[in-house]
Amino acid sequence: MPERRNNEKLYLGIIAILTLVCGILAWQLFETKTNYQFISVQRNNSENEKNQLKDELKGMLEQYDKLKTDNQELSAEMLAQEEKIKGLLKEIDENKGTIGKYKREVVTLRTIMRSYVVTIDSLNTLNQELYSVNNQLSTENNQVKSRAQELEGRNNEMSGIISKAAILKTYGISVVAMRMKSSGKPQETDRAGKTELFKTCFKLGENNTAKAGTKSIFVRIVKPDGTVVTGDGTAESVMVEGAALMMSARREIEYNNKEQDVCIFSNNRIGLIPGTYQVQLFENSYKIGASTIVLR
């Protein structure tokens, strides 16, 4: 009997020990499972946070691609920030840092990117304002040019009118052929063979628009055959409407804007032929009168 009781106590002790061991093992298993679940949740949370950070970084790259500016310095800075973002994405993929570090760097990169957005928006606004101002100035400049051209046209027109108004006028033109008598006095003639000089007289009209002073009055006498009476060979040419015309004689007068009588003598001793002679008067490249004379 005593031995049986001892065996029962031993069995009970063993059962108690086993029960305690099982309890301890069960608790350890529970703690291990709980820790595993906690670690698993933390790992999943970490992966989710990393994916969110990666998505945000990729979004930043897309925004940088849309940001456009003509400012070369600003473009270079944004390109450097894009390289930093790509480098951080690579670090996250390779697990070279902690989530906290990644978050801090993402906040910094986001802040920098926003500053670029504000800066470019301000530049674009300023450029648009400058463009508008430039368009307005261009329009005003075109208007000024148009007005200047209009005024220049009017000025040219007025100058032309004034120039025409300043042209001298001649009246009562008379042309006579003359020969020299043996006494040395000139006598009128109508024979070409005896003519030694032409006397052209006229009235120079009053003109308050013309500039007073010394005037060169030219006479041009054209023979029936189209050649010009050149007298003693001292004749000169004058530009008239772009062409050089040979003149027969010239006289310098002092013009004071008042009407005055003028006579010009043209010498000639050879080459005269019967027919009608065209006599033209010029001053300052302008034709101011014309007449004819017939010699037989």
Give percent of the chain above pLDDT 70. 85
Instruction: Calculate mean pLDDT across residues 241-265.
Output: 90
pLDDT tens readout for residues 156-193:
555 545 556 668 898 999 999 998 888 878 899 999 98
**Going by C-beta distance under 8 Å and a sequence separation of 6 or more, which residues neighbour residue 49?**
99, 103
pTM given for the model: 0.48
pLDDT above 80: residue 225: yes
CATH (residue range 170-295): 2.60.40.10
pLDDT tens readout for residues 61-111:
888 888 877 788 888 888 888 888 888 888 888 887 788 888 888 888 888
**pLDDT value for 276:** 96
**pLDDT value for 64:** 82
Beta bridge partner(s), residue 199: 176, 265
**CA-to-CA separations, 33 to 20, 41, 43, 251, 275, in angstroms, rounded:** 20, 12, 15, 133, 143
**Going by C-beta distance under 8 Å and a sequence separation of 6 or more, which residues neighbour residue 204?**
168, 169, 170, 217, 253, 255, 259, 260, 261, 262
Boundaries of CATH 2.60.40.10 in the chain?
170-295
